[in-house]
Amino acid sequence: MAFDPDLVDRMEAALVALGQRPERRRMFGGIALMIGGNMSFGTSRDELHVRVGPDQYEAALAKIGAREMDLTGRVMKGWVTVDGPSDLDDDALADWARMTADFVTTLPVK
């Protein structure tokens, strides 16, 4: 399996709890959750990819399990990868959801 469907459900629920209406899309062998047409979360293999934006980037990297997102040999600023996301409790996942929603909702709707 290329992604953890339970994790996608939990990610979606965390965004819904914040009043968002995420849309699922298959992307990069996993699932991405879009807010207003902009990607917020993604998952593939046993990794969680979170779009946090430039202002929260350093704070996101300081969180346990987070590292620079590099899928192609080039670091994607404003994005972090979280290793072992299935081990995150609901509060930790809610923190990631808040962080991504805070940024993604500032972007123009596509």
Q: Which amino acid is at 30?
A: G
Q: pTM of the full predicted structure? A: 0.91
Alpha-carbon distance of 83 to 47, in angstroms, equals 5
Alpha-carbon distance of 107 to 29, in angstroms, equals 25
Please give the chain's pLDDT, 110 residues, in tens.
478 889 999 999 999 999 999 999 998 788 999 999 999 999 987 889 999 999 999 999 999 899 999 878 899 899 999 988 878 899 999 999 999 999 999 999 98
Alpha-carbon distance of 63 to 22, in angstroms, equals 24
- Per-residue model confidence (pLDDT) at position 2: 72
Alpha-carbon distance of 102 to 18, in angstroms, equals 10
3-state secondary structure (DSSP) of residue 2: coil
Identify the CATH number of the domain defined by range 5-104.
Answer: 3.90.1150.30
CB 50 within 8 A of CB 44: no
